[in-house]
Amino acid sequence: MKQTILNKLGMPPFKPLPGISTGRIQTIASLYFPYNPFINNTKQHIIPLSDGDKIVLVENRPKNWVKSSRIILLVHGLSGSHLSKYFIRLTHYFVRHGYLVIRMNLRGCGVGRGLAQHLYHSGRSEDTRAVLAWLAKQFPQSPVTQIGFSLGANITLKMAGEQQPMANLDSVMAISPPLDLAASVKLILKKQNRVFNDYFVKVLLKDIQILHQTFPQLPPLSLPPISTLYEFDDLYTAPRSGFKDANDYYTRCSSWQFLEAITLPTFILYAKDDPVISRIKFMQLPHKENFDVLITKQGGHVGWLGSTDKCCYYRWMDRVIFEWVNRFDQKHTP
């Protein structure tokens, strides 16, 4: 299956850059490897949600874009925002090739900080559905491809499988999705991966401190010492979001249970050496005609820093994403 998809996309197999072949190094290096393109023509949209919160979308539109053309909706991962480096790179790439790009800030993220008192989490599919409904009103003739990364990929797959209205959405992509949230948290708590756990916990604790300072009507923040992502979800995410505990949250929101119901054309990209996302469910993925599944041996988490056989270094992940969308668009857009 892997080679068939790569042949279809006209892409070489993934080959990690020399010296950064492990999943942990790929994951970390992808955040610091140089390539920061400049993006202009940026416009912000504030979207009200049904519970009173608001989120912010950041739009980048090419000059030659017409209202019947495809829209790319990007959904970031844990601790991300519209300024996440993979968002910037992909926005630059897609806009340069004529696509309108919407970078979605999940609740309280990026320029949306201070506009939402409820939390974003792995199950907030209603928020992306609200964004799709807004896009359908603004651009009723434009098809949409939603591309989620990590936590945003779980949201994307969950939404696609819930069989509720999704407006003009006609395709989805999930990059490094945590199909099984509980198994992924267990993986991140292993000794060799604790650097990622510690980073996420530090950022999340800082975020909720700012949240409670911004919204004094929230209950006082009183938590015991928290050192793991599981503890944070069990003591804060779950009770604040209507779940009994972390296990209830993971069980109800893991995207694995929604895959069979997905009817849209779907692309899933995952690396076996991902230090953050458990591989167990990827070995059991259903064989569906509408699914393109690409599982690489190496690549890390939202990483895939690789090269061609001619040693031309580039972001392999970005090229794969663009080629899949571009070929789908050429085939399905009149």
For residue 243, being part of any structural domain is answered with no
Residue 43 lies in a domain: yes
What was the pLDDT predicted at 253? 98
Residue 204 belongs to some domain of the structure: no
For the entire predicted model, the pTM comes to: 0.95
Classify residue 249 as exposed, middle or buried by CB count within 10 Å of its CB (0-12, 13-18, 19+). Answer: buried
Q: Is residue 144 in a domain?
A: yes
Q: What is the sign, positive or negative, of the torsion defined by CA atoms of 294, 295, 296, 299?
A: positive
Q: Please report the pLDDT score of residue 1 as a whole number.
A: 47
Residue 249 falls inside a structural domain: no
For residue 26, CA distances in Å to 47, 275, 298, 305 come to 35, 10, 9, 7
Task: Identify whether 173 is part of a domain.
Answer: yes
Contacts of 294 (CB under 8 A, 6+ apart): 1, 2, 5, 6, 267, 268, 269, 270, 320
Mapping DSSP to helix (H, G, I), strand (E, B) and coil, where does residue 142 land? coil
In a domain, 242, yes or no: no
Question: Cβ contacts of residue 287 below 8 Å, gap of 6+?
Answer: none
Provide the domain limits for residue 7. 2-182+255-332
- Structural domain includes residue 224: no
The pLDDT of residue 134 is 97
Predicted local confidence at residue 313, as pLDDT:
52
Say how many domains are in the chain: 1
Unique residue bearing structure tokens 């950041």: 58
Give the pLDDT confidence of 68-92 residue by residue, as tens digits.
999 999 999 999 999 999 999 999 9
Residue 87's pLDDT is 95
Cα angle vertex 114, ends 229, 198, to 5°? 20
The 10s digit of each residue's pLDDT in 156-174 is 999 999 988 888 999 999 9
Positive or negative: CA dihedral 203, 175, 20, 83: negative
**Which residues are bridge partners to 307 per DSSP?**
313
- Model pLDDT, residue 309: 52
Here the CATH number for the domain that contains residue 7 is 3.40.50.1820
pLDDT along the chain (334 residues), means of 10: 76 90 94 79 94 97 92 97 94 95 97 96 97 97 97 98 91 98 97 96 96 93 94 97 98 97 97 97 92 95 79 78 95 76
Buried b (16+ CB within 10 A) or exposed e, 142-151: bbbbbbbbbb
Q: How far is Cα 103 from Cα 180, in angstroms, rounded to an integer?
A: 25
pLDDT in tens, 173-204: 999 999 999 999 999 999 999 999 999 999 99
Residue that has been written with the tokens 């692309």 in this structure = 267
